Amino acid sequence: MRPASRRSGVRRIGRSRFQSSVRAHDRKGRAIALLAAALVLPTAAGLGTAGFAAAQPATSTAVSATATPNPAGRQSPGDIQETVAPKATTTDPACASTTPSATSTSTAAATTTTCASTTPSAVPKTTVAATTTVAPTTTVAPTTTSAAPAPAPVISARSAAAPSRSIPGVSKVQWISDRRVALWVDSAAMGAPFQVQVLLARDWNSNPGATFPALYMLDGLRARDDESGWTIETDAASFYADKNVNVILPVGGQSSFYSDWLEADNGKFYQLETFLTKELPPVLENSMRTTSTRGVIGLSMGGTSAMFLAARNPGFFQFAGSFSGYLSTTSLGMPQALQYAMQDAGGYNVTKMWGQPSNALWAAHDPYIQAENLKGTSLYISSGSGMTGPYDQPSGIPGVSTNYAGMGLEILSRLTSQSFATKLNKLGIPAQVNYRPSGTHSWPYWQFEMHQAWPQVANALGVAVSAPACGLGGDIGAMANANPWLGGCVTGEYAVAGGLAQDFRNGRIFWSGGTGAQVVTGMIGGEYQAMGGPSGPLGLPTTSEFGTPDGRGRGNHFQSGSIYWTPQTGAHSVRGAIRDLWSSQGWETGPLGYPVGDEINTPSKDGAVQGFEIGAIYWSPTTGANGVQGLIMGKYGEMGYENSWLGFPRSSERGPIRDNGRFNEFEGGNIYWSPASGAWSIKHGAIFEEWGRQGYEGGRLGYPISDEYAFEGGVRQNFQFGTITVKGGNIQVA
């Protein structure tokens, strides 16, 4: 599995100090320009900057239209654990800091919390090692894959049918773990699929008939196309593992504001409001056991979008949360600030999104202007002050961190959030508003707010704040205690086909009387889930995850097959006669290497094929399982694979023969290869028979150096040291 945090570690060698200095100066200059915009433009719009002169203001004020219950058990960043549980007291521990205190003040109508501890310890993110597990396995597992596990599974000649992985309206499905799946959802509006990853609810496995509310989590301006920042930069996957919601993570959308654009720009024609509110919900509800009860959380750009999407689509979201969002986009200077930010994040032109600032689309996407439409939606708004906080590195200037851009952006967020909260108060719309006395525009603070907001999210979506107690016992408990990296349990034991299972934050343990307790996790767990788990053709695991002898990969054996994984190939199951042949050749250390795809049926003939790093294994009822590899595989593909006159292979690659050559037999002929001649086919028939009489490759003609071709009313084939021609029933060797 890929690491959870994958910031670029590439270092350019040989770049001059002068170039480095110029680029650093340019970056700092852009950051200072953005900071200036943050400080000057909103002030020109009539939004004051009072309260930002000191890093730790003595007073911080929030406004709410009506009394809003404080979420139980709110914690300071330093108190964040993997599970947020409500506490008996209703006092916010964030207000109990022993550093200069941040006092909660209220108007007659306001009871929302406005402070948080300014001296938290850093919150560790969940990281994932470059294996399919999230930590090294300590289970007793095979140290070699040169032989099948004991007891040897009974595997039929033909693999049992694998469950369909197709989902209506989805171009591609990739299971990342047993409770995380990537979907490339078709979008007619954008003319191409758009990736969405789903963190599946706690009870997804244990209660297969249940459905769950959805929590959309929107990314920031620099959203990546491979993975959501929420799973790269925060502990979202672990945090929501015991929450009974399906977490919906759109992947991509850099600088999009998750809206419908007027024009294409930079190769993108975003229509993401249509996608998120019209095209995606039917897929989630029909195929991913998701209800129409929804919430949305966003950071920075995503915070802006969370609020205007909820306002523009009344009733679609029951909860909307903005973490450091820009909640007034049309005030003086803000269109220019957005243009600067979008240009910096991908080179986008803001006018391609909503037109010129005079265009009505700007007002239609301004949370401040659309605030009245948020009545009845549970709202959560937070931002820092921009001053140096516990996750920032001081610059040497009091209150100013080295994150200059993050300082400016957070000040923009704070000013617009205050303006937005004031508007909500005037409209009589309640909101939970949390202003931190410090902190810049950066991920550790958004992870903190994600934890803080959960009780309110849970209440709005109608799910329990805390997970029910789950205990450990028996063989499963012993295996869990031997593998603490699995994290705490998130379910109790539950029945599966042939045995029992229990889910943990980072994997599952399966048990039966015949197989014992075995761990399945990571991308191997995802492949197992895609194959139907214990109810599918693999059956129950017979080993826990183990490392392969070459150090490249990981594997699990099951009652009726195996799953192997490497970072390069991903996780793939191997079953039936194909697995039998692969194991007899030495598993991954044999000539074919690791599987690179799953077994599939051949499209036009009765058979199956599975791809490996250096070739493929084909199976048919008449030929059995045979491997084709290397340049012979290349020639077989050039000829049309099993659909050509060659048909299915009747043997795996044989050799070495003369001059270190190799060959495969097929239903309709053979393919021969040698270093000197290359790979060529030869049909069964008169030419093949005559070549045999001449001694095949060991005779005077040597290897074929062409395929059979038409020649003067007959056919001819060239060999290293001559030709064979068949014409009118006559055979000529020259």
Closest CA to 82 of 603, 674, 651, 484: 484
537-to-161, 507, 558, 610, 679 alpha-carbon distances in Å:
7, 20, 10, 16, 37
**DSSP letter for each residue of 554-615:** EEEEETTEEEEEETTTEEEEE-HHHHHHHHHTTGGGSTT-SB-S--EE-SSSS-EEEEETTE
Q: What is the spatial distance between Cα 393 and Cα 404, in angstroms, rounded to a whole number?
A: 11
- Catalytic entry in 300, 322, 544, 562: 300
Integer distance in angstroms from the first to the last C-alpha of the chain?
A: 59
Q: Please indicate whether residue 410 is annotated as part of the active site.
A: yes
- Catalytic entry in 410, 527, 665, 708: 410
DSSP state of 535: G
Residues 6+ apart with CB under 8 A from 516: 475
Q: Please indicate whether residue 644 is annotated as part of the active site.
A: no
Q: What is the spatial distance between Cα 37 and Cα 43, in angstroms, rounded to a whole number?
A: 9
| Paired tokens of 220 | 């920031």
CB 350 within 8 A of CB 356: no
**DSSP letter for each residue of 147-205:** SPPSSPPP--SSPPPPPP---TTEEEEEEEETTEEEEEE--TTTTS-EEEEEE--TTTT
> Rounded to the nearest 10 degrees, how much is the dihedral formed by the CA atoms of 112, 114, 120, 124?
60
Q: Please indicate whether residue 365 is annotated as part of the active site.
A: no
Number of H helices, E strands in the chain: 16, 31
237-to-122, 127, 210, 228 alpha-carbon distances in Å:
18, 10, 20, 11
579-to-56, 449, 545, 582 alpha-carbon distances in Å:
64, 48, 18, 5
In the three-class reduction of DSSP (H, G, I as helix; E, B as strand; rest coil), residue 249 is classed as strand
- Catalytic entry in 365, 441, 451, 557: 441
Q: Phi, psi (5° rounding) for residue 194?
A: -125, 130
Residues with active-site annotation: 300, 410, 441
